[in-house]
Amino acid sequence: MDYLRIQGPTKLQGTVVISGAKNAALPLITLTLLAHNPLKITNMPEVVDIKTLLKLLQNLGASCSLENHVLSVDTSTVNHTMANYDIVKTMRASILVLGPLLARFGHCEVSLPGGCAIGQRPIDLHLKALEQMGAQITIHAGYVHAVAPEGLKGAHIIFDKITVTGTANIVMAAALAHGKTILTNCAREPEVVQLCEILRDSGIDISGIGTSELTIIGTGGKTIDMVDFEVIPDRIEAGTYLCAGAITHSSITLENVRADHLDAVTGKLEQMGCTFDITESTMTIHPAPQLKHVNIITQEYPAFPTDMQAQFLALATLSTGTSIIEERLFENRFMHVSELQRLGADIMLNGHTATVMGGTPLFGADVMATDLRASSALVLAAMAAEGTTNVHRIYHLDRGYENLEQKLQALGAKIERLKE
């Protein structure tokens, strides 16, 4: 098993190119199940989660090849509708095949999902919406069995709570349904917006893109002549590198980035004293002379993203004063706190709220990654800590960050990947 050894404290400088967004690419890959033509998707991140989902598509009968961040995919040959447990157990996003498979074939069996340990993310909202569209759903032996022999039918669906994967799943199902579907209380994340934009550009009548209410006129079961497209830049990877600049008191430049997707993140960094130079596709962060404390509440987009909470918690350990970070989306998303405490961080945890007493020096230690974003928080803290930190169980990191240690090495970090 691999681990990262990091020598700190370190200073960074230079430019880092941001990869395509994993959280956009995953639903976009399942979107290709609605297409009857071969597709090329560019700016595809080459991370473990992407490769896992491509393996699932191949098991369904699709042909896929990923080379130099270009995915060539043809799902016209799909002839299986069972997404089996062996793959789905490793990644919760596999549930995104449910809507497209059911809409296209009228039946499918999809294993109940697994994934990371940050908390419960039940799929009941997906299933309830599909039932409203006429699907008959049963759960047996760990699988969702869904049938809609006459196809899915348009409906007015009100999500009880905002769900990113639920919105994406039902948007894809509605694209091939019979009649009009109205979705209310939708997620507005850039990743959902891109999915909708590609459907619109491929001829689907869809309105309300970027708002909480979408209206979709389905094709009545006919597959789509889909356009080639490019995956949007990864706003979470970008935010992580901005935090890397802030925590090491370094000016670094990000290329291939959408600053408009990062307003909540840059707003908090500005409150902490950082400044930015921004162009259409680049961002340069200038560090604060002294990081100020910050208060954060994680909420759905466009508010502060839960996927940046761990990185800011690490950053807050070096600030002046006391920072309050409240996690409102996932109940187990503070597992990195105990690992940061091993580095010397002064953090008090009370339910869904972390109180960070800033200004305590960090010292290198052995720490263990517990989920994807927690992994990056430990790397950030290690670059600011005095001495050597070994970050174990970095397979979590590899799920969503492409070439992290190489990118940080190029910026001047003393980081290397070693075998246990």
Exactly one of 64, 108, 116, 243 is catalytic; which is it? 116
Radius of gyration (C-alpha) of the chain in whole angstroms: 22
| DSSP states along 54-72 | HHHHHHHT-EEEEETTEEE
| DSSP states along 389-420 | EEEE-THHHHTT-SSHHHHHHHTT-EEEEEE-
**Edge-to-edge order in the sheet of strand 252-255:** 14-17, 252-255, 282-286, 275-278
d(CA 417, CA 420): 10
What is the residue whose two structure tokens read 């019979």?
178
136-160 burial, b for 16+ CB within 10 Å, e for fewer?
ebeeeeebbebbbeebbbbbebebe
Task: Look up residue 210 and give its two tokens.
Answer: 């970027």
Contact 292, 272 (CB under 8 A): yes
Task: Look up residue 407 and give its two tokens.
Answer: 């990118």
DSSP 292: B
d(CA 2, CA 368): 12
d(CA 157, CA 180): 11
Determine the distance from the C-alpha atom of residue 225 to the mean position of all C-alpha atoms in its chain, rounded to a whole number. 27
Query: Taking Cα atoms as reference points, which of 298, 277, 295 lies closest to residue 286?
Result: 277
Per-residue H/E/C for 23-50: HHHHHHHHHHHHECCCEEEECCCCCHHH
d(CA 52, CA 219): 29
d(CA 214, CA 201): 15
116 is catalytic: yes
Active site members: 116
